[in-house]
Amino acid sequence: MHDGHRSASSMRTRVEGDGPGRVRSMPRVPGARLRSLEAIGSRFCRYRRVACIKLSIVPFEQKVGCYIVFATVALQIFLIAILAGLLGSILGLGGGIIITPVLTLLFGLDIQYAIGASIVAVIATSSGGAIAYIKDGITNTRIGMFLEIGTTLGAITGAYLSGIIDPKYLYIIFGLVLLYSVAMMLRKSRAELPQGVKNHPLAEKLSLNGEYYDKVLGRQVAYNVDGVYPGLGMMYVAGALSGLLGIGSGSFKVMAMDLFMKLPLKVSSATSNFMIGVTGAASAGVYFLRGDIDPKIAAPVALGVLFGATIGARVMQRLKSRTIRLIFIPVLAIVSIEMIVKGVGL
C-alpha cells in the first residue's frame, strides 16, 4: 500500500473554511511557472490551486469568487496595456518594453507567454497608430517598405547565426550602440526639425522624400532623406537583433531614421510604427503555432494596447518633436542599460 517514498506532508491535504462549503486544497507546488490567466489568478485567490484552477469540484459561490479574481487580473493587464500602447504609439515602439517586464515580474507569467503577448502588443500598437498616421500623411510608407528589405534580411541572418554566436556579446555591443545613440540624440534635443538635409541620390530616385502637416507648428513640413545606405544598414542590424535575441527592435528603427537618415522625429516614429506591425505579424504566426499565445492573456493586452495606441496617435500629433525626443531618450537609455546588464550577466 505504499505510494512511493513521498513524505506524509507532501501527500497531506488541508481543509479550508467551515461547514458544508469547505474545500480541500492541494499543497502548492514551489517554483511553478505560470502559463495562463487562471494560474495568475490563483496567486491572488484564497483557495489557491483547487478553488481557482479546478473549478469543477468547488461550490458555485467559490466559482463566482474566483471568476471575479480572473476578471480583476484581466482588468489590471488591460489598464497596463493602455499605457504600453500609448507610449509605444508616440515613440514608435511596440509596447513590449512595458508588457513583457510587467507580465513576468508583476504577474509571474512564464517568459515565453509574456513574449507571445508582447508580439500581440506590437501588432495592436501598429494597428492603432498606423491608421491615423497614414491618414494624416505622417507615415512615409515608401521608406517603410524600402527599409523592410534590410530588416527582413537581417532577421534571416540573425535566425541563422543564433546557434553560433554567444548572445551575451551581442547584448553588450548593441547596448553600447544604443548608449552612443542616446548621447547623439541629446545633442539634438533642442532641435524641432532637421536643418540643412541634402537629398540622397537614391532617395531622390526612389522618391523617398515627403511632407506632412504639423498640427503643432501649424504648417506643412517638407523634408529630404539623407544617409540611405547607413539607414538601411542599421535596419539590417535591427533585424539581426530580433532574429538573434528574440526581442523587438523599434528603438533601433527610430534611432536609425532619426540619426542616419535625418528624418523629422514624428516621421521616424510613425514610420517605425508602420514597420513593426509588418514584422510582428510574421512572428505572431510562429508563436501562435507553438502555443505561446494564451488568448485569455492576449485579449486584454490587445484591446488595451489598441485603445492606448489610438489615443497615442492623436497625442503625438499635438506634441513638439523636442518633447517626443525628451520622452524617447530615457526609454532608449533604459533599454540600452538593460541589454548591457543582460550581456554582463548581473
pLDDT tens for each residue of 61-113: 555 666 677 788 888 889 998 988 888 888 887 777 778 778 877 777 777 77
Q: Which long-range contacts (CB under 8 A, 24 or more apart) does 57-60 make?
A: 58/23, 59/21, 59/23
pLDDT at 8: 38
Distances in Å between the alpha carbon of 339 and those of 118, 167, 179, 332, 346? 17, 10, 10, 11, 11
Look at 54-63, 85-94, 134-143, 145-154 and tell me which has the smallest mean pLDDT.
54-63
Mean pLDDT of the chain: 76
pLDDT at 66: 66
**pLDDT above 70: percentage of residues in the chain:** 77
Q: Specify if 15 maps to a domain.
A: no
pLDDT tens for each residue of 217-244: 888 999 999 999 999 998 888 887 776 6
Q: Specify if 178 maps to a domain.
A: yes
- Give yes or no for residue 41 having a pLDDT over 60: no
Q: Specify if 41 maps to a domain.
A: no
Q: Specify if 4 maps to a domain.
A: no
Pick 17 or 70 by higher pLDDT: 70
pLDDT at 120: 82
Q: 3-state class of 248 per DSSP? A: coil
- Give yes or no for residue 198 having a pLDDT over 60: yes
Pick 195 or 138 by higher pLDDT: 138
92 Rama sector, left if φ>0, alpha if ψ -120 to 50, beta otherwise: left
CA-to-CA distance for 109 and 105, rounded, in angstroms? Answer: 8
Q: Specify if 269 maps to a domain.
A: yes
* pTM of model > 0.75: no
Q: Work out the pLDDT band at 140, boundaries 50, 70, 90.
A: very high
Residue 152 buriedness (CB in 10 A; 0-12 / 13-18 / 19+): middle
Q: Specify if 94 maps to a domain.
A: yes
Residues in a beta bridge with 236: none
pLDDT at 346: 58
Q: At what angle do helices 60-91 and 111-135 cross, to 10 degrees?
A: 50
Pick 115 or 208 by higher pLDDT: 208
Domain of residue 226, residue span: 73-344
Q: Specify if 64 maps to a domain.
A: no
Pick 35 or 102 by higher pLDDT: 102
Structural domain count of the chain:
1
pLDDT at 243: 67
- Give yes or no for residue 14 having a pLDDT over 80: no
pLDDT tens for each residue of 152-173: 888 778 767 766 777 777 778 7
Nearest residue to 118 via CA among 139, 134, 97: 97
pLDDT at 19: 42
The answer to whether residues 252 and 243 touch, using CB atoms and an 8 Å cutoff, is: no
Q: What is the rounded average pLDDT of the residues 265-274? A: 89
C-alpha cell of 158?
540573425
pLDDT at 223: 93
Q: What is the rounded average pLDDT of the residues 183-211? A: 84
pLDDT tens for each residue of 296-321: 888 888 899 889 988 988 888 888 88
Residue 212 buriedness (CB in 10 A; 0-12 / 13-18 / 19+): buried
Q: Specify if 197 maps to a domain.
A: yes
